[in-house]
Structure formats: structure tokens, C-alpha cells
Amino acid sequence: MSNDNLLFASVNLVALDQKEAANQILAIPDRYSFWDDYRHTKMIPLMSKGGMIASNSLPGEFNWNAHTPKLISDWFDNIVFPWMGMKSRVMALITQPGVANYEHIDCDPHELNTRQHKFRIILQGRTDTLYFITKDGNKYAPSVEGPFLMDGGWAHGMVNTTDEVKVTLAVGAPWTGNEQYDNIEILMNRNDYEMPEDLTPYWKK
């Protein structure tokens, strides 16, 4: 099965202590975060080029911000980035119970149907509140315990239906995926679904 057909896949990497990582993320003072209206989520830049600006267009290299827990930076430096083959932006996303993210596509229209893989790990919460929007309705991701890959180039959304704060670590641009991966299991295949005919509502405004 081609990795380019990946819609959702589990990733088998050396485990992170997710409970402790979540506690440490939630203990970061609010002054190191900002509110994202688009996702209805509090965002904490952990690795970036511009500190709280978190802009990829700035010159220089990606660096860990001083408030990033060492437990998390060590896991990425020693496990995740070598597996990915590069460093990239890392954000913590904090979503309150009952809150929905806007349904969206994580790329520009001209990038549609290109490789747009996103690396995620849910430190607190569930993966199966994520759904992909298809011609036949919403298709929910399976429940997995560790990190996963998803196709950000497919319209998707999430409703935190649990009674606890959802804490997610997300790797963003400039990494958009690899041609080949070690240690993944594809659990949802793009070829099994069709996109909605009208994608206009899902492009970033």
C-alpha cells in the first residue's frame, strides 16, 4: 500500500510518557500561549524560528523555546526528528471539553492531492474525536494510544466530546511527510473515500 494513500496511520516509536508530558504542558504559564480563533484552541509554540511568533518565514534554524519541557524536547530530538529526517515547527494545542475545531484543510488549494502528512500525538484525550469529511459523511479516525500520521490535505475537523482538556502535540510546516516510513500501520486509506465535491468551505480564510 502506497504511503501517498495514507489518510490515517499509527506510528510505532519509542514511547513518550504522555501523562507526565500533558501535565507539564498544562503547567506552562499562559503568557507563552496565544489563542487561535481558526481552531478554537490555545496554542503554545514549543519549537519555532521566532519564539512566540512561530513563523516559518523567518531566517535561521528551528530552536526549542525556553518553556518547552525537557521530557518533550528530548523525545523529539532523540526519537521523532531522526525518524522524520528533519526538524520542524512543534506546537502544543489545548482544546477545552465540548469545543469544536473549524473544519478545514491544512494546505493551500494548489497543494491539493500532494503529500501533506501531519505528525500528531494526543497527550491527553482521544484520537477518535478527529474526523475526515467525505462525500458519504464524516469518517472518524480510529482510537490509537501513541503518535499518528494524518493527511492534512483532506478536509477534517474535531470535536472534543470528552470531559477533559485535550492536549495535542503537532508537528507543522515545513515538514509535509516522507516518501517512505519505518514503523507505521495505515489504518485509513485515501482510496477508500471520496472528497466532497465542494471544498470551498474548508480552505483557510
Question: What pLDDT was estimated at residue 203?
Answer: 85
Residue 173's pLDDT is 82
pLDDT (tens digit per residue) in 90-110: 999 999 999 998 899 988 899
Give the residue, 53 or 10, on which the prediction is more confident: 10
DSSP 3: G
Q: What is the pLDDT of residue 76?
A: 98
28-39 pLDDT per residue, tens: 999 999 998 877
Predicted confidence at residue 20, as pLDDT, reads 98
Burial label, 86 (beta-carbon count in 10 A; 0-12, 13-18, 19+): exposed
> What's the grid cell of residue 110?
494548489
Distance CA 79, CA 146 (A): 13
**Residue 9, exposed/middle/buried by CB under 10 A (0-12, 13-18, 19+)?**
buried
46-74, pLDDT tens digit by residue?
998 866 565 555 667 889 999 999 999 99
Do the Cβ atoms of 124 and 168 come closer than 8 Å?
no
3-state secondary structure of 24: helix
Half-sphere exposure for 82 (CA within 13 Å, toward CB): 8
Neighbour-count burial for 110-149, b at 16+ CB within 10 Å, e otherwise? eeeeebbbbbbbbbbbbbebbbbbbeeeebebeebeebbb
- In one-letter notation, the amino acid at residue 193 is Y
Protein fold of 3-202: Jelly Rolls (2.60.120)
Eight-state DSSP code of residue 162: S
Q: Where are the domains of the chain?
A: 3-202
**Exposed/middle/buried for residue 78 (C-beta within 10 Å: 0-12, 13-18, 19+):** exposed
Length of the chain: 205
119 in Cβ contact with 149 (< 8 Å): yes
